[in-house]
Structures are given as structure tokens and as C-alpha cells.
């Protein structure tokens, strides 16, 4: 039995984002973001309920300051006490897991979406995704870019403006473009 384009997307295989089911999911996410980003005067529990409505998982005490942008939302799981500052973007064509107590600065982009290196495949409108895993108690500085397929270990620190193209081991501080471990 042939997989749908959405099933291919969720599996990390090549898929066509112009597919009607995928477009409907993106439209639903846009509607949700419009509501989420205009919230004013909501209690912390009401804000959490908006996240629970769209995300794949939301730990207690998680805070995401609007404006916030994502592709789908349902592929995002944030742990207990996660804090994301203003203007963060998550392209979640596959899973994004953010561990407990992780803090994410303003303007950070977490990008699972990727594109074929072969120009003929790109011309067909094909895409694919690679999951991102961020451990617990990680600090990601303002404006950092977390690229497809990256895993960041517990207690790591990502310097502001860094472009993280490779896995970061637990407890390591990286910075720069591309991000590299900080020398002592």
C-alpha cells in the first residue's frame, strides 16, 4: 500500500508539500498561530491550553512567548519548564523534542525541514525532514539556528547567533558559524 504524502513527511522520506492534506494541516497551524500570537490577558493555564491544543506534548510550566511560528505544531514536544522567548520559529515537518528546563532566546530557529541536494529532485518540489532533539537544561542564545538532524545533549550551551550544523555533546558550549566547541 502506497503511503500518503503526509505519511512520507512524518517518516522523514521525500514528500511533496503541495499535497492537499499537508496544505490543510499548514492552514490549521496558521489559524492556530493567529489565535496564539494575539493572546493578551490570558492566564498561564489558558496559554498552556493553547499550546496543548496544537503541540504533540507540553510539560507543566512551559512558556512560549508570542509571536511564535511553526509549520504544523503537532510534531513539537516541549518538556517541563521550557521557556522560549519572542519570535522563535520551528519548522516541524518531523519531530522536535525539547527537554525539561531548556531555555531558548529570542529569534531562535529550529529547522527540521531539508531539501534534496539533487537539483532534479528539488525541481519536483520534493522535501524531507530530519528530527531535532534538544536535551534538558540546555540554553540556546538569541538568534541561533539549529539545523536539520541535530541532537543537542543535556546541559549544553549554544552561543547567540550560532549556526548548529552538527550534534552537540552534553555539557559542551558551542558558538560561531558553523558552531564549534569553545576553546578554554
**Cβ atoms of 170 and 135 closer than 8 Å:** yes
> 115 an active-site residue?
yes
Return d(Cα 115, Cα 129) in angstroms, integer.
Answer: 8
Rounded to whole angstroms, the Cα distance separating 104 from 156 reads 12
Q: Cβ contacts of residue 95 below 8 Å, gap of 6+?
A: 56, 75, 77, 112, 131, 132, 133
What Rg, from alpha-carbon coordinates, does the chain have? 17
Point out the catalytic residue in the list 30, 35, 115, 182. Answer: 115
Output the nine-digit C-alpha cell for 96. 522536535
Q: Point out the residues that are catalytic.
A: 115
Amino acid at each position: 500500500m502506497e503511503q500518503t504524502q503526509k505519511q512520507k513527511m512524518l517518516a522523514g522520506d521525500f514528500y511533496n508539500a503541495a499535497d492537499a492534506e499537508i496544505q490543510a494541516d499548514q492552514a490549521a497551524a496558521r489559524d492556530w498561530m493567529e489565535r496564539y500570537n494575539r493572546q493578551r490577558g490570558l492566564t498561564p493555564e489558558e496559554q498552556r491550553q493553547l499550546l496543548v491544543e496544537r503541540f504533540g506534548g507540553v510539560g507543566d510550566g512551559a512558556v512560549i512567548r508570542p509571536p511564535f511560528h511553526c509549520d504544523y505544531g503537532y510534531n513539537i514536544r516541549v518538556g517541563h519548564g521550557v521557556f522560549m522567548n519572542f519570535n522563535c520559529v520551528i519548522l516541524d515537518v518531523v519531530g522536535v523534542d525539547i527537554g525539561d528546563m531548556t531555555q531558548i532566546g529570542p529569534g531562535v530557529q529550529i529547522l527540521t525541514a531539508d531539501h534534496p541536494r539533487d537539483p532534479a529532485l528539488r525541481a519536483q518540489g520534493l522535501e524531507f525532514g530530519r528530527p531535532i532533539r534538544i536535551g534538558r537544561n540546555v540554553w540556546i542564545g538569541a538568534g541561533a539556528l539549529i539545523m536539520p538532524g541535530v541532537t543537542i545533549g543535556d546541559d549544553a550551551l549554544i552561543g547567540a547567533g550560532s549556526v548548529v550544523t552538527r550534534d552537540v555533546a552534553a555539557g559542551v558550549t558551542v558558538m560561531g558559524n558553523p558552531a564549534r566547541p569553545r576553546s578554554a
